[in-house]
Structure 1
Amino acid sequence: MVTDAFGESGPAEAGRGQRVLDLLDKAIQAQSPLVRKNIARARQRNPEATPAQMIRSLERMYVSALTGTGAAVGGAAAAPGVGTGVALALSAGETLSSLELSVLFALSIAEVHEVPIDEIERRRTIVMGIMLGGTGSATIAKVAERTGQHWGRQVVAKVPVETLRQINRILGRNFVTKYGTKQGIIVLGRVAPFGIGAVIGGGANAAMAALNVRAARRAFGPPPTS
């Protein structure tokens, strides 16, 4: 399933790389049906919220959830009496949770901006483009042969699916390298002594969430007026 979307993997990528891409697809499949519920949660306190206010609420919800998850798992994994195997298992589970939160955030922002997310290739481009930051946006612009700001609206919503497949093959390789390495560092950090692990887990996730929020703002630009 993932191999078709991201291109054939070389021998060096077949193990860890394929597992990362499988996690990505699993997260997209799980979170896509929850996008409108997530937006409804963002509107609960203010049913008359403008798109700009909803986006700010979605951003706060995402940063808070990701930071809290990292801190909670970091503290539990580093608690006295927890073996290294259990600690690593807890951190591995949190890796999927943080990926799911990031997928839900990216797709929710796209929905508010009225960017189509019905097709799997468009969802993959949105998620990886945001999580890869500047590298992702540069790759998308180059392959799509389009210049200008806000690739989320200019590219994802308009280019043919076949072009998106080409983009996703390149993004997939970059995603494996960056996301796999980043999560590996965070996982090891969470196994630090009790207390330190919670700080590392929460701080690392907070930093990653902030980067993804900024990337989403650059990807889609100003919110719609209505």
Structure 2
Amino acid sequence: MTTDTHNGSVPASDVRGRRVLDLLDKAIDSQSLLVRKNIARARQRNPEASPAQVIRSLERMYVSALTGTGAAVGGTAAAPGVGTGVALALSAGKALSSLELTALFALALAEVHGVPIDELERRRTIVMGIMLGGTGSTTITKIAGRTGQHWGRQIVAKVPVETLRQINKVLGKNFITKYGTKQGIVVLGRVAPFGIGAVIGGGANAAMAALAVKASRRAFGPAPESWDG
């Protein structure tokens, strides 16, 4: 099956693949501006929260919001001793799609770990690498020519942008393979009723949340001992 474009007919799978990458870039762009602002706000509300506490809270709120376990994230503390301020680190006060929520989660973790997220290619590597799980980490370490744990800190934070572009080309193809079906697009674009107390469901969302949390721990490793660290 083909679809007409300005350049002629192209396979429908290519159109869906392009749409997946467009959704990815849109999610990254829309959430990147919120990460530092919201984490700073969270720390102001609870200066005693350690990086490890914030990360645990981010994980719990992300999983709750994506799998529909019933947490009203915008107004409920997710971890003892952290408080509602940390909820702002994942809540922009509006409904977020599954992909937007995952992008915000991944970039927030990078910020807590001190990994630079100023450049688009680094943000793409972080988000796609976490969403692709083991496949993502294998691709990243292979193309970067580096071994060792915690690619989020050892590779994304240190290798040149040109290397990240090469990595992202391969990650992008894998990302399309994983999410480039009609069902995949629906999963990525599904609106999570975030911050308003409503819930969502579905095995695909639960699987995505579990994969992202596991992959993020592999990517970044233990939390910093202090914010200065």
Greater share of helix residues, 1 or 2? 1
Give the corresponding residue for 2:148. 148
**Letter matched to residue 168 of structure 2:** N
Report the Cα distance in structure 2 between the residues aligned to 1:225 and 1:213, rounded to whole angstroms.
Answer: 20
Structure 2 gaps of 5+ residues are: 1-9, 71-95, 191-198
Q: Give percent identity, aligned residues only.
A: 83
State how many pairs are aligned: 185
2:113 and 2:224 in contact (8 A); partners too: yes
> C-alpha displacement at 1:207, in angstroms?
2.5
Report the Cα distance in structure 2 between the residues aligned to 1:101 and 1:159, rounded to whole angstroms.
Answer: 26
Helix, strand or coil for the counterpart of 2:68? helix
List structure 1 segments (4+ residues) > 6 angstroms apart after TM superposition.
none
TM-score normalized by structure 1? 0.73
Q: What whole-Å deviation, never above 9, does each CA across 1:168-198 have from its counterpart, x for those lacking one?
A: 00000000111234943976xx9xxxxxxxx
- Seen in structure 2, the aligned counterparts of structure 1 residues 183 and 52 have a Cα distance that, compared at 3 Å, is farther
Helix, strand or coil for the counterpart of 1:210? helix
> C-alpha displacement at 1:65, in angstroms?
1.5
Helix, strand or coil for the counterpart of 1:14? helix
Give the corresponding residue for 2:84. none
> C-alpha displacement at 1:64, in angstroms?
1.4
Give the corresponding residue for 1:214. 214
1:63 and 1:210 in contact (8 A); partners too: yes
Give the corresponding residue for 2:89. none
2:31 and 2:100 in contact (8 A); partners too: yes
Q: Which has the higher contact order (CA 8 A, sep 6+)?
A: 1
Give the corresponding residue for 1:108. 108
- Seen in structure 2, the aligned counterparts of structure 1 residues 41 and 141 have a Cα distance that, compared at 3 Å, is same
1:186 and 1:201 in contact (8 A); partners too: no
CA RMSD of aligned residues (A): 3.0
In the alignment, is residue 166 of structure 1 matched against residue 173 of structure 2? Answer: no
Pairing 1:73-84 to 2, within 5 Å after superposition: none
Greater share of strand residues, 1 or 2? 2
In the alignment, is residue 137 of structure 1 matched against residue 140 of structure 2? Answer: no
In the alignment, is residue 52 of structure 1 matched against residue 52 of structure 2? Answer: yes
- Seen in structure 2, the aligned counterparts of structure 1 residues 163 and 43 have a Cα distance that, compared at 3 Å, is same
- Seen in structure 2, the aligned counterparts of structure 1 residues 155 and 11 have a Cα distance that, compared at 3 Å, is farther
